Amino acid sequence: MKKILLGIVTTIVVLAIAITNVNAATVSATKEVKKGEKVTVTVELKDPATKLRATVSYDASKFEYVANSATCGNGALVQENATTAGTVTASAATTATVQKMTFTFIAKETTDASNFTISNLNPSETIDPATVSVKVVEESKPEDNNNGNETQKPGQEENKGDQTQTQKPSTTDDKKEKRPTVIPQAGVPYISLVVVGMAIVAIVSVKKIVK
């Protein structure tokens, strides 16, 4: 019985050591975005390498791949193949080292969960899990506070006030100032009438003095 228990314990220890020594890559992505926003999917190796290749499979009805968006950093030249909708493969090589590669997508439609799956990883590392899910929600729209009424433009009230002042009705004094100084029936100016009267008075006075 003791030998059996010892064998079980030994097996568990060996498996634990083996698991901890296995290289494990990871995949991550933006968990939730709005329709029309970008999603970044990142594949990261456990250990740096001079080359990196990965294939991303996705739902082309929900997402659109942004062409030439695959990057690795460190000046690595990235080549990609995205001719088939729903799949994109990118590979990079450099004299330096790279450890992760990013892919960029645009959310086209709403979804509760859409998967991005990584495959063809080189250098070969275990990815567990190899799939990451992204949720896409509807783009929020600003609330309409006008309730169908036209928005009043700035300065509209001031313009109305100015217009009211401009269209002020004429006063009685204004009408008097514009009234012509003539006798209505004869059409003779008041000044001319006064001059004629003064002339008549002067003639009569002269005659009286002569007599």
Question: Could you report the per-residue pLDDT of 133-152, keeping only the tens digit for each?
Answer: 999 999 877 665 555 455 55
Length of the chain: 211
135-160 per-residue burial string, b: 16 or more CB within 10 A, e: under 16: ebeeeeeeeeeeeeeeeeeeeeeeee
Give me the mean pLDDT over the 58-76 stretch: 93
pLDDT of 183? 45
pLDDT at 3 (0 to 100) = 61
Q: What are phi and psi of 154, to 5 degrees?
A: -60, 140
Q: Give Cβ neighbours of residue 13 (< 8 Å, ≥ 6 apart).
A: none
Q: What is the C-alpha to C-alpha distance for residues 149 and 143, in angstroms, rounded to an integer?
A: 14
The pLDDT, as a whole number, for residue 105 is 97
Q: What's the mean pLDDT in 83-94?
A: 94
Rounded Cα distance between 120 and 80, Å, is 13
Mean pLDDT, the chain, rounded, equals 77
pLDDT digits (tens, 9 = 90+) for 144-182: 555 545 555 555 554 545 554 555 555 555 544 455 444
Predicted pLDDT of residue 20: 42
Residue bearing tokens 């990609």: 80
Smallest CA-to-CA distance from 99 within 125, 61, 69 is with 125
Query: CB 168: neighbour CB atoms within 10 A?
Result: 7
Q: For the whole model, what pTM was predicted?
A: 0.58
- 96 contacts: CB under 8 Å, gap ≥ 6: 50, 74, 75, 76
The CA radius of gyration of the chain, in Å to the nearest whole number, is 48
pLDDT of residue 76: 87
- Rounded-to-integer distance, Cα 15 and Cα 108, Å: 45
Q: Are 25 and 43 in contact (CB under 8 A)?
A: yes
Distance between CA 8 and CA 119 in Å, rounded?
Answer: 35
- Alpha helix ranges (H) inside 35-189: 156-166, 172-178
